[in-house]
Amino acid sequence: MASQVKKMEGYDVVIAGGGPGGCVLAKDLTKAGKKVIIVEQGGNSTRGIGSPLGLYFGGHMEKAPFPKMFAETIEGHQVALGKGIGGGTYLYGGIAAFPDFKAFEDVGIDLKPYLEDAKRETWVEEVPDEFLGPNTKRMMDVAKELGFPFKKSIKHIKFSKCQYGCTKPTFGCPKGAKWMGKYAADEAEAHGAKLLIYTKVRDVIIEDGVAVGVNAKSVRGDQEYEIRGKAVVCCGGGKGSALMLMKSGLVEAGTRLSGDPCFTSYGLLPEGSKGMGAEHGSVIDFVDDERGILIANFITFSRFMWAMTVLPGGGLGGGIEAYKNYGRVAWMYIKIHDEGVGRILWDGSVSKTVTARDEEKMNYCQWATEKILTAMGCDPYSIRHTSPVLGHPSGSCPIGKVIDTNLETRIKNLFVCDVSSMPGAPSRPPVLTIVTLAKYFLPILLERI
């Protein structure tokens, strides 16, 4: 027998989904004296933080059958989908990148005035010189000689707390050096926000063309909720927000999807060389907005995790070889701006097509990284490229199509503020862009409530 619906009323803002944008919004709204609730299907723990298996079993992401780390599209591509308060900030390597301001200007939004606040919010720092290892410096030098102007990265990391050569960023930082949306949510809770975790939003309550709340259900029981407020903001990510809108009658949501396909290029340095496994990862990068690509030195992984990274595309033999040659490996990380051909299906599954143009960009990046790795001294015949992973599904509720420049849907007081709002594929780590967008959106929302 189903339990009675629990009614929760009187909120100024109901935030549906606990992604980084929603966490920052909740903090800023509560500090402005507003009554806020975040409804999130995942938890709010740091269980498993700092280890790959802990992250896999800790409930911080949607899973796929072993040995694949991530969930899959219906076409079989791996796709990284964060879960829990903070969303994908559990899974990212802490790499920061400035927003693609032109893409937002083209749809009528100027994000520049909000960037500095977002940088402070998310602990953005330039990588200190002492975190650049010898192979990393060599990679930067040869890349510049070849016409790829690498520079030191900016990261969402307090380097005073960070340890050189750490292999844990993508599995969560147990030292608290890497910014996660959870920290903003915890601050929001300290100021009076309600965090309703392990609870999934089913749809938005719409009365007379106005959003007045959400219907939700516990994922760990039968308890159902009717949660009402003056405004509803979807912050559930590229998949979650689109699905909530679709279930609420906005059938235009979820009909496109960007993925920023990511892959790793790697090669073997000469026998006796010391590879990049002992150096700090993702500390140099090259962003080419004209081509829509980002190339960086790869995130530092342990020997075991490096083998597991190679395993899905290289098979058992490739995984064993990667494990054996870990001490000689030089590696690079690539992300491309894709054409956004994909969609979220009604049952919540993800479909994503890698187009011919997407393939051209990946081929270009493979050519570029092979040139750089060869110039570093890698055996050209040892160079390999891993299978692409969709790094952060985005653009499923884009500005200019599903939402306007106030981030509002055609339903009054129903907004979207997360990676799904992007007007196109970010082609870069999106956290700084999402939080900058949240800072832009805050005064708009405050005027409404």
Retrieve residue 305's tokens: 């995790």
Helix axes 134-145, 356-376, angle to 10 degrees: 110
- Give the pLDDT confidence of 105-127 residue by residue, as tens digits: 999 999 999 999 999 999 999 99
- The residues that bridge with 95 in the sheet, in sequence order, are 155
- Reduced to 3 states, what is the DSSP secondary structure of residue 182? helix
Count CB-CB contacts under 10 A for residue 66.
Answer: 8
Handedness of CA 293, 154, 262, 99 (dihedral sign): negative
Categorise residue 34: left if φ over 0, alpha if ψ from -120 to 50, beta otherwise.
Answer: beta
Which residue do the tokens 């309703």 mark?
196
Residue 225 has pLDDT above 90, yes or no: yes
* Residue 432 CB-half CA count within 13 A: 25
Preceding peptide of 134 cis, ω within 30° = no
Name residue 266's beta-bridge partners: 331, 384
Confidence of residue 10 (pLDDT cuts 50, 70, 90): very high
Which positions ≥6 away from 264 have C-beta within 8 Å? 298, 309, 331, 332, 333, 334, 385, 386
The rounded distance, in Å, linking the Cα atoms of 86 and 186 is 10
| Residue with tokens 């380097």, as numbered in its chain | 159
Percent of the chain scoring above 90 in pLDDT: 73
Contacts of 232 (CB under 8 A, 6+ apart): 13, 14, 16, 204, 211, 212, 213, 214, 413, 414, 415
Would you say residue 324 has pLDDT above 90? no
pLDDT in the model for residue 302? 77
Instruction: Return the amino acid letter for 249.
Output: G
Q: Give residue 48's pLDDT band: very low, low, confident or very high (50, 70, 90).
A: confident
pLDDT in tens, 191-204: 999 999 999 999 99
In angstroms, what is the C-alpha Rg of the chain?
21
Angle between helices 431-448 and 20-31 (to 10 degrees): 40
Q: What are the C-alpha distances in Å from 432 to residues 126, 203, 298, 425?
A: 14, 28, 20, 14
Per-residue pLDDT averaged across 87-92, rounded? 87
Band the pLDDT of 55: cuts 50, 70, 90.
Answer: low
Whether residue 1 is predicted with pLDDT greater than 70 in this model: the reply is no
Residues 6+ apart with CB under 8 A from 105: none
Instruction: Calculate the alpha carbon distances from 117 to 69, 315, 321 in Å.
Output: 34, 45, 46
pLDDT of residue 316 exceeding 90, the answer is no
pLDDT higher than threshold 90 for residue 51:
no
Q: Is the pLDDT of residue 93 over 70?
A: yes
Report in angstroms the alpha-carbon separations of 253 from 38, 143, 258, 288: 21, 41, 13, 29
22 closest CA partner among 395, 404, 437, 427: 437
pLDDT band at 413 (very low <50, low <70, confident <90, very high): very high
pLDDT of residue 67: 60
Distance between CA 58 and CA 263 in Å, rounded?
25
CA distance 324 to 114: 47
What pLDDT does residue 303 have?
Answer: 77
